[in-house]
Amino acid sequence: MFKTELINFLLSSEKASMSNSLDEWYLSDFYDKHIHNIGYEEGYVMLVDCCDVWMKYPNFTFELVDIMSSIRNRISTNTFPQCFNDSEEQILEIYLNTDNRVSEIIYSVYKNIDIDNDMLDGWVQTGIEDEKKMLKELFQNSNIKILESY
């Protein structure tokens, strides 16, 4: 059930983003509804669902890493489910593709809006840096070591 709601949330967020109608509190609303009151067992299963969705929808890395970080913090764990170990090559590929993925997403959102190119390039660079930092922080002090050397 969580996986279906997560996918629906991500797809609706993408649609809202493309039409410039994404509410600034979209992630906070999702946390309130799905993460705020979870326990360890439920949260661990949710991490499995997040991993599965992430491997299928890497364009949602920003949202999924934020959601997984919130789940991890809520259930106070340093141990990720086995599916993350099984997906280490894909996780590394997602990390190494951050520049291209973030650039494509940001440029596509603003393609029909008159914005100074230098400003847009700055947003892209900040987005890339932020996402890479978030990814590394997600797995910091955990059983997932694939990004430690990056």
Q: HSE (CB half, 13 Å, CA atoms) of 69? A: 18
List Cβ neighbours of 26 (8 Å cut-off, separation of 6 or more): 13, 16
Q: 19 in a domain, yes or no?
A: yes
Q: How far apart are CA 3 and CA 10, in angstroms?
A: 11
pLDDT digits (tens, 9 = 90+) for 20-46: 777 778 899 999 999 999 999 999 999
Number of domains in the chain: 1
Q: How far apart are CA 107 and CA 124, in angstroms?
A: 8
Q: 33 in a domain, yes or no?
A: yes
Q: State how far the alpha carbon of 12 is from the alpha carbons of 60, 113, 127, 141, in Å.
A: 12, 21, 21, 33
Q: 107 in a domain, yes or no?
A: yes
Domain that holds residue 80: 2-138
pLDDT digits (tens, 9 = 90+) for 39-88: 999 999 999 999 999 999 999 999 999 999 999 999 999 999 999 999 99
pTM for the model stands at 0.92
Q: 121 in a domain, yes or no?
A: yes
Give the rounded percent of residues in the chain with a pLDDT score beyond 90: 83
